[in-house]
Amino acid sequence: MDVRELHHLIAYLTDLARQVSVNPDEPPASLGEIAVVDDIVTNPGSSVRDITERTGFVQSHVSTTIARLSERGLVTTAADPADRRRTLAHPSDALLSLIEERASRTVHAALAKRLGDKASAARAGQLLDELARLLLE
């Protein structure tokens, strides 16, 4: 596999993950929004500046994303008690429940739908499981 094929595979798997992790009646999350959510879940109580530094996004993007997530009840914000000018972001219970529910989903049905062949989908699922064990453990 060359680098070009790797990038195509990454794009395919990213799209597959997005398809499995969203409900059809919801607008799809952008990769930037996903990165901010992931950072907030991994580092609860972080300031906008901290999230900006870790994600590499500009401060205005992080602030706007946090405001949208807060409006949807997925993130809670509070002033930092040590410096009231700073805003701290926490994942809401609703977000944590949503993540838990969606994390239990598997890609097998989506693979079958995309590939149109149950045997090929089963084999692709096995290969992805093996790849995850090799690379992520």
Full-model pTM: 0.70
Q: Are 97 and 87 in contact (CB under 8 A)?
A: no
Token pair listed for 21: 């992790």
Distance from C-alpha of 111 to C-alpha of 93, rounded to nearest angstrom? 31
- Residue reference for tokens 């580092």: 43
Mean pLDDT by 10 residues, the chain (137 residues): 94 87 77 92 96 96 96 94 93 93 85 91 94 92
* Residue 61: half-sphere exposure toward Cβ, Cα within 13 Å: 15
Res 76: pLDDT: 97
In sequence order, what are the residues at sequence separation of 6 or more whose Cβ sits closer than 8 angstroms to the Cβ of residue 103?
none
Sheet containing 75-80: give its strands across: 46-47, 83-91, 75-80
Res 109: pLDDT: 86
SS3 (DSSP) at 46: strand
Q: First-to-last CA distance in the chain? A: 22
Res 81: pLDDT: 92
